[in-house]
């Protein structure tokens, strides 16, 4: 029996009962002969509550202090979980990200892991302990300050530790039975997927399926770590995410469509009245990049012949909205545009599947489904295995259900179960 890394999300440890339930599961894995490393998130919506609190004291809190605050959430759950395990008669020790050797760069609020040196975790395991690690946090190699890995970052902590400790599997325990063909909170008829390729999962995660974080899937793909996403509330097998299909490609065909993802966490900025000449787009996106903001979709309108001016729209995380507007306003003189428009009432719907490469009708059917549902499209972007559109936020749920049905993804058996969480 080898080493397993198990990650429990906030909804799985939302209260004392949840922590005790999870402790039993962990002890069972240990009793089955595994060495067990557990990564735990903050209880329930603690992280959101801490963010709300910070905003009440300061509209733009300093990154360093913000990270100090947020990491407190995971500290609470790791210590409580270790106590609950000890109470069941087993040895457990909790570790902060820093103690566990999670080394990052120094970009506060969205640090990247650059190394994992889990010496203390190894020692704890060798001494017979279950090791509990606070997710979502690390320590900067340069400044030695505490950092966080971005929302949902505990998934990444788990895979990074699994890679560093050469674990046989990284189990991600959450409040649904696995990865579904759409968010079960929106589509009751969503179907559980038994296996999904890292490639398709990467696109789903990047398109907003928060059941797994994009960076975590990227990491798992690079280090070839199989992920098993499953519920901490049921004993059911979940979804395997891996580079190779465990049954061999011959037995299970690649689905044409893996699923429908949606995302309401983005906003749209339109730069109005940009002179239509070389270097303008470069100047706009240089200003955004210098502010360390990642953008998603971009569209440039045809310029009106009479004015020689054009509009450029792009989407970005809502949380970066203020920063982006500030950065563009500062560069307004140099870039030379008329005005900025900010719209945070947008939503994005994406259809993902490796089979798209070879099925030319997919795009047409996708747009038809949206049109039949009366949904207006504002932006479009595509990759080899994904089509995404931006619509009004109010239309998103309806659009997801329409597309899910149109592609024959609706399950004809039971409704998908959501065991916990608030969906926040």
Choosing among ligand ASP, Mg ion, ligand ADP, none, which partner's interface includes residue 238 (Cβ < 5 to 8 Å by kind)? Answer: none
Work out whether 388 is an interface residue with ligand ADP (CB under 6 A).
no
By CB under 6 A, which span of 3-11, 26-34, 284-292, 341-349 interacts with ligand ADP?
3-11
When the beta carbons of 99 and 405 are compared against ligand ASP, the nearer one is: 99
- C-beta of 105: minimal distance to ligand ADP in Å? 23
- CA distance from start to end of the chain: 37
Question: Of 402-421, which residues contact ligand ADP (CB under 6 A)?
Answer: 418, 421
Nearest approach, Cβ of 259 to ligand ADP (angstroms)? Answer: 5
Binding to ligand ASP, residues 146-165 (CB under 6 A): 151-155
175 binds ligand ADP (CB under 6 A): yes
Q: Binder to ligand ADP among 110, 210, 348, 401 (CB under 6 A)?
A: 210
Q: Which residue has the tokens 């199989």?
A: 226
Q: How many CA atoms are closer than 13 Å to the CA of 110, on its beta-carbon side?
A: 10
Q: Which stretch binds ligand ADP (CB under 6 A): 62-70, 91-99, 178-186, 321-329?
A: 178-186
Between CA 79 and CA 13 the distance in angstroms is 12
**152: contact with ligand ADP by CB under 6 A:** yes
Q: Could you tell which of Mg ion, ligand ADP, ligand ASP, none binds residue 73, using a CB distance below 5 to 8 A set by kind?
A: ligand ASP
Q: Which one of ligand ADP, Mg ion, ligand ASP, none is in contact with 153 (Cβ closer than 5 to 8 A by kind)?
A: ligand ASP
Draw the binding track, 31-60, toward ligand ASP (x: CB under 6 A; -: no contact): ----------xx----x-------------
Under the criterion CB under 6 A, does residue 9 sit at the interface with ligand ADP? yes
Among 20, 185, 286, 392, binds ligand ADP (CB under 6 A): 185
Residue of minimal CB distance from ligand ADP? 9
- How far, in Å, are 21, 158, 165 from residue 104 at the CA level? 32, 15, 17
Report 69-108 residues binding ligand ASP (CB under 6 A).
Answer: 73
Of 31 and 424, CB closest to ligand ADP: 424
Structure token digits, residue 291: 């502010």
Among 35, 46, 156, 174, binds ligand ADP (CB under 6 A): 174
Residues numbered 145-164 forming contacts with Mg ion, rule: CB under 5 A:
152
CB 91 within 8 A of CB 35: no
Contact between 136 and ligand ASP per CB under 6 A:
yes
CA angle 194, 233, 398 (to 5 degrees): 60
CB of 190 to ligand ADP, least distance (A): 7
Q: Which stretch binds ligand ADP (CB under 6 A): 31-39, 169-177, 216-224, 326-334?
A: 169-177
CB atoms within 10 A of CB 249: 10
Which positions lie near ligand ADP, rule CB under 6 A? 9-12, 41, 152, 174-176, 179-180, 182-185, 209-211, 259, 418, 421, 423
Which positions lie near ligand ASP, rule CB under 6 A? 9-10, 41-42, 47, 73, 135-136, 151-155
Which positions lie near Mg ion, rule CB under 5 A? 9, 152
């Amino acid at each position: 029996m080898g080493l397993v890394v198990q990650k429990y999300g906030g909804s799985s440890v939302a209260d004392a009962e949840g922590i005790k339930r999870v402790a039993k599961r962990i002890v069972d894995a240990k009793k089955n002969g595994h060495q067990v490393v557990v990564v735990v998130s903050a209880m329930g919506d603690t992280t959101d509550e801490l963010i709300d609190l910070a905003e009440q004291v300061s509209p733009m809190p300093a990154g360093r202090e913000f990270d100090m605050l947020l990491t407190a959430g995971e500290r609470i759950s790791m210590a409580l979980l270790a106590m609950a395990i000890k109470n069941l008669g087993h040895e457990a020790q909790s570790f902060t990200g820093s103690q566990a050797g999670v080394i990052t760069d120094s970009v506060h609020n969205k640090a990247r892991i650059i190394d994992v040196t889990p010496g203390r975790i190894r020692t704890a395991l060798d001494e017979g302990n279950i090791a509990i690690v606070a997710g979502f946090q690390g320590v900067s190699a340069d400044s030695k300050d505490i950092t966080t890995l971005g929302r949902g970052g505990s998934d990444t902590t788990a895979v990074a530790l699994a890679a560093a400790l050469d674990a046989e599997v990284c189990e991600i325990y959450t409040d649904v039975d696995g990865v579904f063909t759409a968010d079960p909170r929106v589509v009751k008829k969503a179907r559980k997927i038994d296996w999904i390729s890292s490639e398709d999962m990467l696109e789903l995660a990047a398109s907003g399926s928060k059941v797994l974080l994009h960076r975590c899937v990227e990491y798992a793909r690079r280090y070839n770590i199989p992920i098993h996403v499953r519920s901490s509330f049921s004993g059911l097998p979940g979804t395997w995410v891996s580079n190779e299909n465990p049954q061999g490609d011959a037995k299970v065909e690649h689905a044409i469509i893996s699923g429908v993802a949606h995302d309401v966490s983005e906003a749209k900025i339109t730069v109005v009245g940009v002179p239509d000449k070389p270097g303008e787009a470069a100047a706009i996106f240089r200003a955004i990049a210098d502010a360390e903001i990642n953008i998603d979709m971009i569209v440039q309108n045809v310029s009106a012949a009479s004015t020689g001016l054009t509009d450029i729209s792009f989407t970005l995380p809502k949380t970066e909205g203020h920063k982006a507007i500030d950065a563009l306003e500062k560069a307004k003189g140099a870039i030379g545009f008329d005005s900025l428009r900010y719209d945070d009432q947008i939503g994005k719907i994406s259809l993902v599947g490796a089979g798209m490469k070879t099925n030319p009708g997919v795009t047409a059917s996708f747009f038809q489904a949206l049109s039949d549902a009366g949904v207006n499209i504002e932006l479009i972007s595509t990759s080899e295995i994904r089509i995404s559109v931006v619509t009004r936020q109010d239309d998103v749920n309806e659009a997801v259900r329409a597309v899910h049905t149109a592609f024959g993804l609706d399950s004809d058996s039971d409704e998908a179960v959501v065991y916990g969480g608030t969906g926040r």
